[in-house]
Amino acid sequence: MFEPAIIVHGGFGKFPSESNLKKPLMEGTKAAAREGHAILARGGSAIDAVEAAVTSMEDNPLFNCGYGCTLNLNGNAQMDAIVIDGQTLNSGAVCGALGCPNPVQVARLVMEKTNHCLLSGDGVQQFMRSHGIEVVPDSQLILPERFQEWEQYVKLREEFVNGCGDSQRIASGLPPGCDTVGAVAMDASGNIAAATSTGGRTGKLPGRVGDAPIVGAGSYADSNVGGVSTTGFGESAMKVCLARRIAELLEKGVPAQESAARVLRFMHEKVGGEAGVIVLAKDGNRCHVTRHFISPNMTWAAINDGRITWGIDQGQEESASLE
């Protein structure tokens, strides 16, 4: 028997010190970890646990995934998600998904009901309908706050195109807050799974696909080694195969924290961009969980060895008995 564990992230970002978002985001991340761990505690699978944890965040409008996610340049809620089964290395993913409140659930169906790894665009909606999943209008997914953020972005972008703005103003106009969300878990059988879900960045080009649904970039899991989920600059993560590169170091026996730090430093120096990761590394019948991020903030929560641990600021780690 193995000691079950889960680690969850609610995305990286930069919050003003007085931000009133920190506490509810942290509580939402802890709630997601508890959702996943409750399944593990009942003897459930790692796949079920990461799906439940990510679904919890997709249903929470504070997070950039599912309901309340950011909008692309056309003003649509366009999402990506993935699940990976570390026992078989099977995966399922969706990208460019529209009208999809819970893309992580659809990604799992892709893994279990098809021989494909990734569905995109209109194919996602066709697949959803064929499995009795409602395709909902954007009006049911878009928050007024997200629409206002999109309007501000479009205005700044138009000023830049017309020669009376600059890229720094566009970047500063993006909302503070969280990015991609994800979870990694190990169940009592020693199986490891990972899941990641995102709405991407405000104002992304329609059809843009980030790292989240790409095996080895936004997520990776191998039950012999461990699992990874990432958040941050998707193009940078794809260029260096961020998640898989960390897993390769785990395979070589490099400790989880060192693996994460080394690869994030390599990415930042080689291609630029900021990111954060959560890592679960197998160690006999137990595991080590850790996180590392090169940004001011990343919400994370882990449940392991009967305790829940969490943080959002650099260097922050709070812990309590799991009750």
For residue 137 the two structure tokens come to 């209008």
**Mean pLDDT in order along the chain per 10 residues (323 residues):** 97 79 94 98 98 98 95 97 99 98 99 98 98 96 94 84 50 58 98 98 94 98 99 96 98 98 98 96 95 95 96 95 86
Number of structural domains (the chain) is 1
Nearest to 120 by CA among 84, 71, 80: 80
Active site residue 114: no
Q: Is 231 annotated as a binding residue?
A: yes
Angstrom CA distances, 103 to 37, 93, 118, 308, stand at: 21, 8, 12, 27
Say whether 283 sits in a helix, a strand or coil: strand
Q: What's the CA gap between 36 and 54, in Å, rounded?
A: 9
Taking the CA atoms of residue 228, residue 231, residue 234 and residue 239 in that order, the dihedral angle to the nearest 10 degrees is -40
Which pLDDT does position 150 carry in this prediction? 93
Catalytic residue among 29, 180, 198, 230: 180
The reply to whether 322 falls in a domain is no
Please state, as a whole number, how many other Cβ atoms lie within 10 Å of the Cβ of residue 207.
13
Say whether 307 sits in a helix, a strand or coil: strand
The reply to whether 54 falls in a domain is yes
Q: Is 286 annotated as a binding residue?
A: no
Return the ∠ at Cα 10 (arms to 67 and 174), rounded to 5°.
Answer: 70
Running DSSP on this structure, what letter comes out for residue 69? -
CATH (domain of 71): 3.60.20.30
The reply to whether 84 falls in a domain is yes
Residue 284 region, left (φ>0) first, then alpha (ψ -120 to 50), else beta? left
Say whether 285 sits in a helix, a strand or coil: coil
Q: Is 190 annotated as a binding residue?
A: no
The reply to whether 153 falls in a domain is yes
Q: What's the CA gap between 81 and 57, in Å, rounded?
A: 12
Which pLDDT does position 169 carry in this prediction? 45
Q: Is 208 annotated as a binding residue?
A: yes
Q: What is the pTM of this model?
A: 0.94
The reply to whether 320 falls in a domain is no
Find out whether 280 and 184 touch, Cβ atoms under 8 Å.
yes
Q: Is 123 annotated as a binding residue?
A: no
Q: Is 63 annotated as a binding residue?
A: no
Nearest to 66 by CA among 37, 32, 102, 23: 102
165 lies in which domain range? 5-309
The reply to whether 216 falls in a domain is yes
